Amino acid sequence: MRIVLFILLIIAVSGSNVYSQTRSTLSIDEKIYGLSKFWSEANYNFVYMYKINPSVWNSAYKEAIANVQKVQNDYEYFRELQKLCAILKDGHTQVYFPDDIQNEILTTNFGEYRIFLANVNGKVYVVDVNKSKQKDIPIGSEVIKVNGLLTEEYQRQFVKPFIATSTEADLNNKAAYNLLSGLAGEQYSIHVKTPEGEMKNIKLTHAKTDEIEMVSGSMPNSEMFEFKWLENDIAYTAIRSFEDGEVVQKFESILAELQKAKSIIIDIRNNGGGSGKNAMNIAKYFIENDIIYGAKNYSRNIIPTERAIGSFLTPQDTINGKAQWGISKKEAINYYKAFMGVKFHAFDYRPTVAHTDIKLLVPVVILSNSYTASAAEDFLIYLYDKENIKRMGDYTNGSTGQPIQIDLPGNTTAWICTKKVTLPNDEEFVGVGIKPNVVVRQNLNDVLYPLKSDSQLESAIQYLNQDEK
């Protein structure tokens, strides 16, 4: 009995240490207010609310009301809000931790170990580790179990329910990277299978890692812009962000070189977006005329009086109208859509005139992957149906839109997406991703040894060389 009590005491003290660093400043009233503010703002503003099952959404809200009154600290409180937010399944709809809490969260640091994880075709692999531990956990090891559960099951229960994202690919990426995220002192037991097939159990505890040197050594170029020549006069340019107008200046500085190219590769993999204007100011050089068509945009059209009338109507009224009230079928449809939250305002759709004297009309391949998002997806849309341009790689992130920012108690904010975006032909890509003309998946070697292996780039080069013949 003494041994059992001693073990329980250790667990209690250990658990206390995990959360002792984390503040607990919000009152119950503030917690309920913040939760209710997010829920109500989402009800009013979230553009894809029509895709969410109302009973699931409202039940989750009721559950969250009970849960936020039981949490031990502010960290657990914001996790509850993130869990509610994740039901909306949108990458531009997020609840953010306050900075001081976010800075406490550890993802890759485990004291004597530093480990980076990544998703590769649905499995979780160790893709980097501190040098002194490379024999303990070789890169390329697959994480088979976490805390006794199969990795997939552990993610389903403890990781994915807190991730707000639009696509399955992005969910898998984030769930892999954040598989072991937690606070200092939290412990994990992982079961890994090494590349040689050896099974290993590793005990990990979150703590600061002092060792800096990693197995990966030097990483690929991660600057905002890169240009180089490849074989057979193929010009390669990587655009890793549209955030700063400087990227347009850098691109325009190599226009003279690009005019010499027989073909061009534009690499926007891992480009998380930025300014759509910057994306357009580069895309215009690849348009034969000066007319650029972008995405179509919609927002919810909320008129309370129309919603009020619609609340008294039934689906049957949208078929025949409601003659006793003098409401025609067309009017009934309008009112009922308003009530159901599926009445939309379509923003004016017209092309943009973007003139330039220089036109790059040679064969072009644009490389994308599941980290290609937002303004980078706008870039693809500007060049979507051009005969000389092929999209290669993987589906994009499938997340864009215009979020509204709201303040929450605890000195933090949340985003709620207010704008629905489609391709020019009305096809939806949010939640799916923009499909490449030629799908090329990354393999494990591409992720582990990016300086040596890049099957997507190799496929682009092969395609352009075949096209040249």
Which segments of 147-221 are extended strands (E)?
149-150, 187-193, 199-205
Q: Identify the band that residue 13 occupies on the pLDDT scale cut at 50, 70 and 90.
A: very low
The pLDDT value given to residue 65: 98
- Percent residues over pLDDT 70 in the chain: 94
Distances (CA, A) of 127 to 123, 152, 353, 449: 12, 18, 45, 9
Rounded Cα–Cα distance for residues 67 and 194 (Å): 40
Cβ distance 416 to 91 under 8 Å? no
Q: Which two tokens stand for residue 341?
A: 């939250």
Tokens 């226009």 belong to: 255
User: Mean pLDDT over residues 402-418, rounded?
Assistant: 97
Question: For the chain, which domains are there?
Answer: 225-297+349-398+433-468 (3.90.226.10), 303-340 (no CATH)
Give me the pLDDT at residue 467, please.
62
Phi, psi of 298 (to 5 degrees): -140, 155
Residue 140: the pLDDT is: 97
Q: How high is the pLDDT of residue 21? A: 59
> Would you state the pLDDT for residue 118?
97
Give backbone dihedrals phi and psi of 122, rounded to 5 degrees, phi first.
Answer: 90, -5
Instruction: Tell me the mean pLDDT in the region 313-318.
Output: 95
Band (444; pLDDT cuts 50, 70, 90): very high
pLDDT score at 2:
36
Q: Which pLDDT score, from 0 to 100, does residue 112 have? A: 97
Total Cβ atoms within 10 A of residue 50? 15
Looking at residue 1, what is its pLDDT? 33
Name the pLDDT band for 188 (thresholds 50, 70, 90). Answer: very high
Condensed to tens digits (0 to 9), the pLDDT of residues 35-82 reads 999 999 999 999 999 999 999 999 999 999 999 999 999 999 999 999
Quickly state the pLDDT bin for 425 (edges 50, 70, 90).
very high
Tokens of 67: 């849960």
Question: Does 6 score more than 60 pLDDT?
Answer: no
**192 CB-near residues (< 8 Å, 6+ apart):** 126, 137, 141, 142, 143, 144, 199, 200, 202
The rounded distance, in Å, linking the Cα atoms of 294 and 11 is 57
192 closest CA partner among 247, 125, 248, 243: 125
DSSP code for 224: S
pLDDT band at 220 (very low <50, low <70, confident <90, very high): low
b/e per residue 301-318 (b: at least 16 CB within 10 A): eeeeebbebbeebeeebb
Give the mean pLDDT of 192-204: 97
Helix axes 74-86, 28-45, angle to 10 degrees: 20
CA distance linking residue 344 with residue 49, whole number of Å: 12
Residue 204 banded pLDDT, cuts 50, 70, 90: very high
d(CA 133, CA 170): 29
Residue owning tokens 């009338």 = 309
Q: Binning pLDDT at 50, 70 and 90, where does residue 241 land?
A: very high
276 secondary structure, DSSP code: H
What distance in Å separates the CA atoms of residue 33 and residue 195, rounded to the nearest whole number?
A: 50
3-state percent breakdown (helix, strand, coil) of the chain, nearest 5: 35, 25, 40
Query: Residue 469: its pLDDT value, please?
Result: 53
pLDDT of residue 3 exceeding 80, the answer is no
- Model pLDDT for residues 351-362, shown as the tens digit of each residue: 999 999 999 999
- Residue 217: per-residue pLDDT: 78
- Residue 222 pLDDT class (50, 70, 90 cuts): confident
C-alpha distances (whole Å) from 339 to each of 307, 314, 449 are 4, 10, 54
Is 309 strand, coil or helix?
Answer: helix
Provide, rounded to the nearest whole percent, the portion of the chain with pLDDT above 90.
Answer: 91
Per-residue pLDDT, 216: 87
Helices (H), 94-236: 99-102, 151-158, 168-177
What is the rounded average pLDDT for all residues in the chain? 93
Query: What separation, in Å, do the N-terminal and C-terminal C-alpha atoms of the chain show?
Result: 80
For the cut 70, the answer to whether the pLDDT of residue 381 exceeds it is yes
Which residues touch 15 (CB under 8 Å, ≥6 apart)?
none
- For the record, the structure tokens of 156 come out as 């389903």
pLDDT of the residue at 5 = 34
Confidence at residue 468, expressed as pLDDT on a 0 to 100 scale: 60
Lowest mean pLDDT among 33-47, 92-106, 147-161, 219-233: 219-233
Dig out the tokens for 105 from the structure.
């969260």
Please tell me the pTM assigned to this model: 0.89
- Please give the backbone phi and psi of residue 418, each rounded to the nearest 5 degrees, phi first: -110, -5
Mean pLDDT of 451-466: 95
**Strand 344-346 relative to strand 296-300, pairing:** antiparallel
pLDDT tops 90 at residue 219: no
Between β-strands 389-393 and 364-368, what pairing exists: parallel, antiparallel or unpaired? parallel
- What is the mean pLDDT of the segment spanning 327-331? 96
